[in-house]
């Protein structure tokens, strides 16, 4: 080897070593939210100013994230900080040993988080804690104030009045509901809004998770039927109306109601700043009755079990669990931070926060039955598509869900 | 200068030529081996293990296959398989048939030949994601031009939610597939017809054969090699049908599995989905293994049969 080449090699190795040390002093952080890059880059700057620890944020496209992350983890690499999903999505990684278990004392303020939220950050087999929750989502009904006013209608106070309002809007030539059925998951969201009042919310949730009741229960069948009753108020050709179409209808004020989740608020505001909308729980069956809103933890910040910077990573997680961070998260992303005790200046968001605090119930399939295939969500989504299209009865759908879940859920077997 | 005229003198050179050929082929072969053959074998091996997320666990024997062929995955599997089979039959008849007709029409040198040749082939080179997206817009029940037109002329009953109705979703996908791919068989057949020696065609005409007879008894039999290629490619494409259903109907084969295919089922199970499913690598790999042998068997048997017919023809 010539001297020249040798010296090139030396310089190269030196450069790599310097680069290595530079990277070694910074935490890497992966997410599936490219739309939040600006926000997290700013958070990283604040954190670095406080602690001197650099954080490098990388976002993947939502649909590519699972693949990118799993390839990295399977290869024994991956980032120090991982944005993980909640419930089954996190449990799967936690049970495989990819995530670092967290003792709540290690992360400042984590003991103040509600237990229901922390349960979204536990393994399915390994019940230790594997992340700091970042957001909660709450499901409900968005309404267009101007359209309701135009049709001369008040906000309905009971489920019956709600159906009446939909009927009147339809007669007035206004599309009552923006919701369609092409994307199955939006039907599950709808069920999360319509269902709890009919199946008995948290009480039923506990019993069905405990295996005391199944989805063949008449209350669950009734809830399915109630959702199917809404099809006359959905847009023309609703079976072919997808998520983007639904959002377009509501943003352009072409539909009065949109059944969805709190994650829409930021998008609605960004797309049509003039849109005057509100958020309500599905009205109770009787006047003055207690409504319910399905809610769930959206995801967590976790630490890679293979990290060589445990101390720094825990320090960053403490920052992500702080009120200082949570308030910025709520204000800038228009999402409900998981950090307890925050308020929002956005009237709709504060309405959601209030409803969640008072009336939350677990989002049935995600929280309880999305741990193995076929998941309760998969079965419910497909079943609802058949039901709304008139190809299956509510009883058949309920039986299929029960039978499908029973293939992996021991408490259901033999029922 | 033909090689055969100087076989011995060029023997050295030919050896060298062989060496060169190997050298040129080697990178491609190595890449194939590393990125295609090994992963394929790996996937087969994966189906024999238990998995926790993406971590391989203990040897599971045929457990993943037992799960695949038990409720409810057996139903999903058979439904997906029936869709793949239907796709093969429909595409073979409609896409290949239309391709043949187009090729014949183009061979006849219609006015504007160049324009039509490009037009027929154009969709093939468009990105599939764009094709899927445009057709989704076109077939959209709310904003799509097709249903607007149908409503406009009073055919309200025909303005269906094409991609959301279980009865029309799969036919709509097949239609889009034909639109996208018909240029390919057309091009292959056109090349095939062009390669037919004028002598055969003239001899047939001199013997008084009509145009139909020439087509049926001279052109078609001589296109047999082209058919072999197209039938095999259609078979493989139909059974590994993934991209178009994925782009237009999502990974669950919406609505309610009406457009599910084996490749979608594999992907959904192996990698999980954002909104409904959990990754189950073992089960996904089992689907993949069955699919692999299905396609291999079909392709080999098909190739043997079609080759024999070519010789007979």
Distance from CA of B236 to the nearest CA of A (A): 25
A5 CB-near residues (< 8 Å, 6+ apart): none
Provide mean pLDDT across the span B15-23.
80
How many structural domains comprise chain A? 2
Containing structural domain, residue A269: 138-295+362-412
Q: Which of B248, B254, B264, B270 to mutate to test the interface with A (most CBs of A within 10 A)?
A: B254
A residues 95-114 lying closer than 8 A (beta carbon) to B: 95-98
A235 to B142: CB separation less than 8 angstroms, yes or no: yes
In a domain, A351, yes or no: no
A303 shares a domain with A215: no
Average of per-residue pLDDT across B4-18: 56
Residue B6 reports pLDDT greater than 50: no
User: Who's near A37: CB < 8 A, 6+ residues apart?
Assistant: A57, A59
**Whole-Å CA distances, A328 to A310, A337, A344:** 25, 9, 10
A386/B277 Cβ within 8 A: no
Contacts of A73 in chain B (CB under 8 A): 53-54
Q: Is residue A357 a part of any domain in this protein?
A: no
Mean pLDDT of B159-179: 96
Whether the CB-CB separation of B278 and A371 falls below 8 Å is answered with: yes
- CATH for A109: 3.40.190.10
Do A121 and A297 touch, CB atoms closer than 8 A? yes
**pLDDT > 70? residue B311:** no
Q: Do A370 and B276 touch (CB under 8 A)?
A: yes
| Residue that finishes a domain, picked among A287, A317, A344 | A344
Distance of alpha carbon A25 from its chain centroid, rounded?
Answer: 32
With beta carbons under 8 A apart, name residues in chain A contacting B275: 184-185, 188, 377, 381
Using a CB-CB distance cutoff of 8 angstroms, which residues of chain B are in contact with residue A407? 70-72
**pLDDT band at B29; cut points 50, 70, 90:** very high
Q: At what angle do helices A243-251 and A184-199 cross, to 10 degrees?
A: 70
Q: How far is A96 from chain B (nearest CA, A)?
A: 5
Chain B: residue whose CA lies nearest to A63: B274
Question: In this structure, are residues A372 and B280 in contact, taking their beta carbons and an 8 Å threshold?
Answer: yes
Judge: A383–B140 Cβ closer than 8 Å, yes or no. Answer: no
- Interface probe, candidates A123, A182, A369, chain B, greatest B C-beta count within 10 A: A182
Whether A353 maps to a domain, the answer reads: no
**Are residues A29 and A166 part of one domain?**
no
B257: left (phi over 0), alpha (psi -120 to 50) or beta: left
Given a contact cutoff of 8 angstroms between Cβ atoms, the answer to whether B137 and B162 are in contact is no
- Please report how the helices A184-199 and A376-388 are oriented relative to each other, as an axis angle in degrees rounded to 10: 90
Report how far residue B132's alpha carbon sits from residue B122's, in angstroms, rounded to the nearest whole number: 15
Pair A29, A66 in one domain: yes
Structural contact between residues B231 and B96, judged by C-beta atoms closer than 8 angstroms: yes
pLDDT bin (cut points 50, 70, 90) of residue B271 is: confident
Full set of structural domains in chain B with CATH: 3-46 (no CATH), 65-312 (1.10.3720.10)
Q: How far apart are CA B284 and CA B271, in angstroms?
A: 8
Question: Would you give per-residue pLDDT tens digits along chain A (415 residues)?
Answer: 455 555 555 555 555 444 444 455 699 999 999 989 999 999 999 999 999 999 999 999 887 888 889 889 988 899 999 999 999 999 999 999 999 999 888 898 899 998 889 999 999 999 999 999 999 999 999 999 999 999 999 999 999 999 999 999 999 999 999 999 999 999 999 999 999 999 999 999 999 999 999 999 999 999 999 999 999 999 999 999 999 999 999 999 999 999 999 999 989 999 999 999 999 999 999 999 999 999 999 999 999 999 999 999 999 999 999 999 999 999 999 899 999 988 899 999 999 999 998 999 999 999 999 999 999 999 999 999 999 999 999 999 999 999 999 999 999 988 7
* A92 and A13 both lie in a single domain: yes
Instruction: Categorize the per-residue pLDDT at B36 as very low, low, confident or very high, splitting at 50, 70 and 90.
Output: confident
A232 touches chain B (CB under 8 A): no
Which pLDDT band, with edges at 50, 70 and 90, does B273 fall under?
confident
Q: Are residues A117 and A161 in the same domain?
A: no
CA atoms within 13 A on the CB side of B285: 23
ipTM computed for the complex: 0.88
Q: Do A383 and B256 touch (CB under 8 A)?
A: yes
Contacts of B277 in chain A (CB under 8 A): 373-375, 377-378
Indicate if A149 and A263 belong to the same structural domain: yes
How far apart CA B232 and CA B209 sit, in angstroms, is 32
**What pLDDT is stored for residue B308 in this prediction?**
87
Query: How near does any CA of chain B get to the CA of A51, in Å?
Result: 34
Q: Give the whole-angstrom CA distance, residue B101 versus residue B107.
A: 10
Question: Strand, coil or helix: what is A386?
Answer: helix
Q: Searching chain B, which residue's CA lies closest to the CA of residue A183?
A: B254
Rounded percentage of chain B residues whose pLDDT exceeds 90 = 77
- Can you give the length of chain B in residues? 313
Please tell me the distance from the alpha carbon of residue A384 to that of residue B189, in angstroms, as a whole number.
Answer: 46
Q: How far is A362 from chain B (nearest CA, A)?
A: 16
d(CA A98, nearest CA chain B) in Å: 9
On whether both A284 and A367 belong to a single domain, the answer is yes
Q: What is the pLDDT of residue A1?
A: 43
| Residue A120: CA count within 13 A, CB half-sphere | 27
Last residue of a domain, one of A344, A371, A401: A344
Q: Alpha-carbon distance A208 to A211, whole Å?
A: 5
CA distance B141 to chain A (A): 6
Q: Which residues of A touch B158 (CB under 8 A)?
A: none
Residues of B with CB under 8 A from a CB of A: 52-55, 70-73, 139-143, 147, 159-166, 250, 252, 254-257, 269, 271-280, 283
A96 is written with which tokens?
């495989």
On whether both A115 and A211 belong to a single domain, the answer is no
Nearest-CB residue to B276 (from A63, A372, A378): A378
What DSSP line would sit under A62-93, residue for residue?
HHHHHHHHHHHHHTT---SEEEE-STHHHHHH
- Best mutation target among B249, B256, B257, B284 (most A Cβ atoms within 10 Å) is B256
Residue A231 touches partner B, C-beta closer than 8 Å: no
Q: Which residues in chain A touch residue B280, judged by CB atoms under 8 angstroms apart?
A: 372-373
Pair A243, A331 in one domain: no
Q: How far is it, in rounded angstroms, from Cα A103 to Cα A121?
A: 12
Omega within 30 of 0 (cis) for the link into A374: yes
Asked if residue A354 belongs to a domain, the reply is no
Q: Token pair for residue B52?
A: 């926790």
Chain A residues lying within 8 Å of B266, measured CB to CB: none
User: What pLDDT is stored for residue A21 in this prediction?
Assistant: 46
What's the whole-number average pLDDT of chain B?
A: 90
Residues A197 and A337 in one domain: no
CB nearest B254 (choices: A95, A96, A385): A385
Q: Domain check: are A52 and A112 in the same one?
A: yes
Residue A228 lies in a domain: yes
Specify the pLDDT at position B4. 45
Query: CA A140 to CA A259: how far, in whole Å?
Result: 6
Q: Are residues A91 and A158 in the same domain?
A: no
Measured between beta carbons, which residues in chain B are less than 8 angstroms from residue A408? none
H-helix or E-strand spanning residue A26: strand A26-31
Picking from A302, A299, A320, the residue whose alpha carbon sits closest to that of residue A79 is A302
């Amino acid at each position: 080897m010539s001297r020249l080449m040798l010296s090139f090699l030396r310089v190269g190795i030196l450069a790599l070593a310097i680069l290595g040390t530079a990277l070694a002093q910074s935490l890497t952080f992966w997410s599936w939210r490219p739309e939040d890059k600006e926000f997290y880059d700013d958070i990283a700057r604040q954190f670095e100013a406080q602690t001197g620890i650099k954080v490098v944020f990388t976002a993947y496209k939502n649909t590519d994230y699972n693949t990118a992350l799993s390839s990295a983890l399977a290869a024994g690499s991956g980032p120090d900080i991982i944005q993980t999903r909640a419930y089954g999505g996190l449990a799967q990684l936690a049970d495989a040993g990819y995530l670092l278990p967290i003792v709540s004392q290690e992360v400042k303020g984590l003991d103040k988080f509600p237990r229901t939220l922390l349960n979204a950050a536990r393994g399915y087999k390994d019940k230790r804690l594997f992340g700091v929750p970042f957001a909660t989502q709450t499901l409900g009904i968005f309404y267009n104030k101007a359209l309701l006013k135009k049709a001369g209608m008040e906000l309905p106070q009971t489920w019956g009045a709600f159906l009446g309002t939909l009927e009147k809007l339809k007669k007035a030539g206004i599309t009552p509901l923006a919701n369609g059925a092409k994307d199955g998951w939006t039907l599950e969201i709808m069920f999360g809004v319509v269902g709890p009042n009919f199946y008995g919310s948290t009480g039923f949730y506990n019993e069905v998770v405990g295996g005391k009741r199944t989805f063949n229960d008449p209350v669950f069948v009734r809830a399915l039927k109630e959702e199917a009753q809404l099809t006359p108020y959905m847009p023309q050709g609703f079976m072919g109306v997808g998520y983007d179409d639904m959002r377009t209808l509501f943003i352009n004020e072409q539909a009065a109601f949109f059944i969805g989740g709190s994650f829409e608020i930021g998008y609605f505001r960004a797309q049509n700043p003039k849109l005057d909308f509100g958020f309500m729980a599905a009205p109770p069956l009787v006047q003055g009755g207690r409504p319910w809103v399905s809610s769930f933890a959206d995801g967590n910040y976790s630490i890679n079990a293979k990290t060589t910077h445990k101390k720094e990573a825990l320090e960053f997680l403490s920052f992500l669990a702080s009120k200082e961070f949570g308030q910025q998260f709520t204000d800038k992303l228009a999402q409900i931070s998981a950090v307890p005790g925050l308020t929002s200046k956005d009237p709709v968001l504060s309405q959601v926060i209030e409803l969640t605090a008072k009336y939350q119930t677990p989002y049935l399939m995600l929280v309880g039955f999305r741990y193995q295939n076929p998941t309760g969500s998969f079965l419910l989504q497909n079943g609802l598509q058949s039901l709304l299209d008139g190809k299956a009865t509510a009883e058949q759908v309920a039986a299929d869900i029960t039978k499908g879940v029973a293939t992996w859920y021991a408490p259901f077997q033999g029922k | 200068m033909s090689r055969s005229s100087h076989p011995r003198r060029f023997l050295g050179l030919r050896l060298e030529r062989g060496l060169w050929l190997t050298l040129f082929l080697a990178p491609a072969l190595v890449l194939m081996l590393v990125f295609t053959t090994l992963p394929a074998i790996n996937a087969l091996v994966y189906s024999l293990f238990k998995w926790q997320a993406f971590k391989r666990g203990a040897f599971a024997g045929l457990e993943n296959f037992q799960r695949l062929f038990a409720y409810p995955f057996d139903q999903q599997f058979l439904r997906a398989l029936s869709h793949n089979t239907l796709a093969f039959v429909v595409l073979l008849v409609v896409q290949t048939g239309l391709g043949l007709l187009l090729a014949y029409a183009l061979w006849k040198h219609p006015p504007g030949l160049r324009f039509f040749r490009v037009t027929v082939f154009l969709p093939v080179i468009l990105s599939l994601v764009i094709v899927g997206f445009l057709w989704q817009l076109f077939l959209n029940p709310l904003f799509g031009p097709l249903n607007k037109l149908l409503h406009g002329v009073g055919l309200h009953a025909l303005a269906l939610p094409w991609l959301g109705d279980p009865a029309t979703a799969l036919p709509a996908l097949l239609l889009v597939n034909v639109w996208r791919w018909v240029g390919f068989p057309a091009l292959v057949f056109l090349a095939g017809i062009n390669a037919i020696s004028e002598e055969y065609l003239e001899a047939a005409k001199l013997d008084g054969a009509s145009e139909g007879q020439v087509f049926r008894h001279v052109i078609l039999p001589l296109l047999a090699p082209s058919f072999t290629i197209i039938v095999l490619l259609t078979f493989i494409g139909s059974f590994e049908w993934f991209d178009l259903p994925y782009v237009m109907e999502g990974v669950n084969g919406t609505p309610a599995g009406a457009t599910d295919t084996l490749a979608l089922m594999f992907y959904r199970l192996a990698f999980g989905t954002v909104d409904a499913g959990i990754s189950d690598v073992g089960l996904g790999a089992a689907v993949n293994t069955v699919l692999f042998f299905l396609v291999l068997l079909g392709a080999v048997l098909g190739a043997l049969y079609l080759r024999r017919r070519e010789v007979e023809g």
